Chain A
Amino acid sequence: MLARTPWRLMTAPRNIYATARTLARPVVRGQLPLTHAHAALIVETLHQERTGALAGLRPPDVVGLKRFLLGQEIERQETERDVAEWRIKRLVGPMIAGRQPSNAVLAEAHGLNGLAGFPLTEHEVTSIVRREIYYALPPAPSAGGRRYAG
């Protein structure tokens, strides 16, 4: 049986601040510049004012609060990404030391990222695992056993 949306929620005024949080993910992933996100919030607020959705609130105040919410969400998601990265490194370290196949290591890392709600993109997870594997490999004998600059 499908759950029906209660009538009181369907008729409730829309959350005018919802977009602010949704813009945080593309910003932290580097897909959207922060200035563009701010511009989008201003455009949206002006649209809401024209349609009367602000219900008497001053647009500059609304934009200010949206920017604050966006900043909070960005900070939260960045922390989440850092934690996910640290967890992936902690997970794959022993696997690499045990010479588990690379596809198995990658699968575990992607699984952990998914469990955390995909804070990192697939490419970022692969890069983290790749870097961990690279530094776990012994240096080539031609490099003299030392780190080389180029």
Chain B
Amino acid sequence: MPDDPVFGAYDKGGFRPRLVGSAEHDASQPPLKLYPARLPDPCSIPPRQWLYGTHLIRGYVSVLVSPGGTGKSALAMAIVMELVANRSLLKNHVFSQVNGAIFNLEDPMEELDRRVAALMIHHRIGKHELDGRLFLHDGEARGLKLASLDSDGFTVAYPDEQALIEQIRENNIGIVVCDPFAESHSLEENSNPHMVKAAAAWRRVARATGCAVLLVHHVRKGDATGIDAARGAKALTDSARVGLLLTTMTAAEAEGFGIAEDDRFQYVRLDDVKRNMAPAGRARWYQLCQVPLGNGAPGYPNGDNVAAIGAWEPANVWQQASVPDLNTALDRIDSGLHNGSRYTDSRRGDTTRWAGNILIELFQVTDKQAANMLAAWLKSGVLFREDYYDKPQRKERSGLQVNPLKRPGARNE
């Protein structure tokens, strides 16, 4: 066996050979050498090429993590359609119009067609806006394997990497979505070295083509509270420059927004849970709407209803209430109860003294919203706590007072 690297190395008394070399370990690479920092003029450094809000950046990989059934595929598809149509549908800034490719490796093409149609109907996107610029790939005819174990069982091969790079260049793609990431490789998901390899393959694709890559990933079992909720080894989320977490509205949040328990599952929130390149922003809310496609058949007259995602803003009580109304509420809080006691921000014990009752009565808000309003006023100094002598109770108590200088509409000269 003179040609075999294993038998050859053995007979020559050498080391264990690398059977299938990866790009970064090839002998053709230049030797490792340290260079002093260039320290260029900051004005001469090219800016980051943001593509979509602070979620996607050209040449880098972003990861969208979410539990199943939350709407991550709909969100990823909507983002691509925004970039292709050059329209801000989800209230995020679109920096430039690009061609987009969606690799949905779970659903057949028919289902992708339904979802695209639902989004087009919901956001009123014309066919001419997407025609020839949106590329869809399903996993039915041929999947996508960017990294897999070679036949020897321990080296990693990258079967589709070069072909994908060529296709992206040929079709001038600027955004690539892989949904889900787990289907794009056949490596061990709980192995950090393996996930580094799989993520590095996507990173090389992004770098080589200058396109933004969005990997859609599932969460592990249990509560999804941060980027660490991503399933499998942590190397994937560590490799990504942006980590997005999509979760359903919780019961507490629904109560705060005054949304019925049954309806809360159609609202999802997107958090930037890992941003290496931008400051953390506030959560964004989206609503999943059922869009009728009108594809009824004789035995199925109503046709399909398919979920489409749209932007949603929580109802803001501050915007609903006018300045005079807010001052009326503050007047009543400041004047106290009829028996001479002052209002309080605490709901413990005697709830008749809770100032939130006034807000509930005047603005028809929920308990939670009233408590949030009081907390905001206390934080901004509009209300403050002060000890006073309570005549009915004949003891020192803490009550709320209004700072007239910080009332809504007051001018500070």
Which stretch from A32-40, A43-51, A60-68, A141-149 is at the chain B interface? A141-149
Q: Which residues of A contact B20 (CB under 8 A)?
A: 150
Q: Which residues of A contact B155 (CB under 8 A)?
A: 150
User: How far is A131 from B119 in the complex, measured between Cα atoms in Å?
Assistant: 53
Instruction: Establish whether residues B16 and A134, one from each chain, have CB atoms under 8 Å apart when the complex forms.
Output: yes
Q: Which residues of B contact A136 (CB under 8 A)?
A: 10
User: How far is A106 from B7 in the complex, measured between Cα atoms in Å?
Assistant: 10
Instruction: Establish whether residues B7 and A149, one from each chain, have CB atoms under 8 Å apart when the complex forms.
Output: no
Instruction: Establish whether residues B156 and A140, one from each chain, have CB atoms under 8 Å apart when the complex forms.
Output: no
Which residue of A is nearest B7, CB measured? A102
Task: Tell me the smallest distance from the CB of B252 to a CB of chain A, in Å.
Answer: 42
Encode contact with B along A61-80: 1 for CB under 8 Å, 0 otherwise: 00000000000000000000
Q: Which residues of A contact B13 (CB under 8 A)?
A: 99
What are 22 A-B pairs at a CB distance below 8 A?
A102-B1, A106-B1, A130-B4, A134-B6, A134-B16, A135-B16, A137-B6, A137-B9, A137-B14, A138-B16, A139-B16, A140-B15, A143-B16, A147-B154, A149-B193, A149-B194, A149-B196, A149-B197, A150-B22, A150-B155, A150-B156, A150-B194
Residues of B within 8 A of A (CB): 1, 4, 6-7, 9-11, 13-18, 20, 22, 25, 154-157, 191, 193-194, 196-197
Which residue of B is nearest A134, CB measured? B6
Among candidates B10, B193, B194, B197, residue contacting A133 with C-beta atoms closer than 8 Å: B10
Q: Which residues of A contact B197 (CB under 8 A)?
A: 149-150
User: How far is A99 from B16 in the complex, measured between Cα atoms in Å?
Assistant: 14
Q: Does A101 contact B (CB under 8 A)?
A: yes
Encode contact with B along A101-128: 1 for CB under 8 Å, 0 otherwise: 1110010000000000000000000100
Q: Which residues of A contact B194 (CB under 8 A)?
A: 149-150
Listed from nearest, the 9 A-B pairs whose CB atoms lie closest are A150-B156, A149-B193, A137-B16, A140-B15, A102-B7, A133-B10, A134-B6, A139-B16, A130-B6
Task: Tell me the smallest distance from the CB of B239 to a CB of chain A, in Å.
Answer: 14
Q: Which residues of B contact A99 (CB under 8 A)?
A: 13
Known: A106-B1, A149-B156, A150-B22. A133 touches B15 (CB 8 A): no
Q: Which residues of A contact B17 (CB under 8 A)?
A: 137, 140
Q: Which residues of A contact B22 (CB under 8 A)?
A: 150
User: How far is A99 from B17 in the complex, measured between Cα atoms in Å?
Assistant: 17
User: How far is A134 from B154 in the complex, measured between Cα atoms in Å?
Assistant: 12
Residues of A within 8 A of B (CB): 96, 99, 101-103, 106, 126, 130, 133-143, 147-150
Which residue of B is nearest A150, CB measured? B156
Beyond A99-B13, A149-B196, A150-B20, 5 additional contacts (C-beta under 8 Å) are A134-B16, A139-B16, A141-B15, A142-B25, A149-B154
| Residue from B14, B16, B20 having most chain A Cβ neighbours under 10 A | B16
Which residue of A is nearest B156, CB measured? A150
Q: Which residues of B contact A134 (CB under 8 A)?
A: 6, 16
Q: Which residues of B contact A150 (CB under 8 A)?
A: 20, 22, 155-157, 193-194, 197
Among candidates A133, A135, A140, residue contacting B7 with C-beta atoms closer than 8 Å: A133
User: How far is A138 from B9 in the complex, measured between Cα atoms in Å?
Assistant: 10
Q: Which residues of B contact A149 (CB under 8 A)?
A: 154, 156, 191, 193-194, 196-197
User: How far is A130 from B4 in the complex, measured between Cα atoms in Å?
Assistant: 9
Known: A102-B7, A134-B6. A139 touches B15 (CB 8 A): yes
User: How far is A96 from B369 in the complex, measured between Cα atoms in Å?
Assistant: 76
Instruction: Establish whether residues A102 and B10, one from each chain, have CB atoms under 8 Å apart when the complex forms.
Output: yes
Which residue of B is nearest A135, CB measured? B16
User: How far is A148 from B196 in the complex, measured between Cα atoms in Å?
Assistant: 12
User: How far is A101 from B10 in the complex, measured between Cα atoms in Å?
Assistant: 8
Which residue of B is nearest A101, CB measured? B11
Instruction: Establish whether residues B11 and A102, one from each chain, have CB atoms under 8 Å apart when the complex forms.
Output: yes
Instruction: Establish whether residues B25 and A137, one from each chain, have CB atoms under 8 Å apart when the complex forms.
Output: no
Instruction: Establish whether residues B11 and A138, one from each chain, have CB atoms under 8 Å apart when the complex forms.
Output: no
Q: Which residues of B contact A106 (CB under 8 A)?
A: 1
User: How far is A66 from B37 in the complex, measured between Cα atoms in Å?
Assistant: 76
Among candidates B4, B18, B154, B157, residue contacting A140 with C-beta atoms closer than 8 Å: B18
Task: Tell me the smallest distance from the CB of A32 to a CB of chain B, in Å.
Answer: 21
Q: Which residues of A contact B10 (CB under 8 A)?
A: 96, 102, 133, 136-137
| Residue from B9, B10, B25, B194 having most chain A Cβ neighbours under 10 A | B10
Which residue of B is nearest A136, CB measured? B10
User: How far is A150 from B4 in the complex, measured between Cα atoms in Å?
Assistant: 19
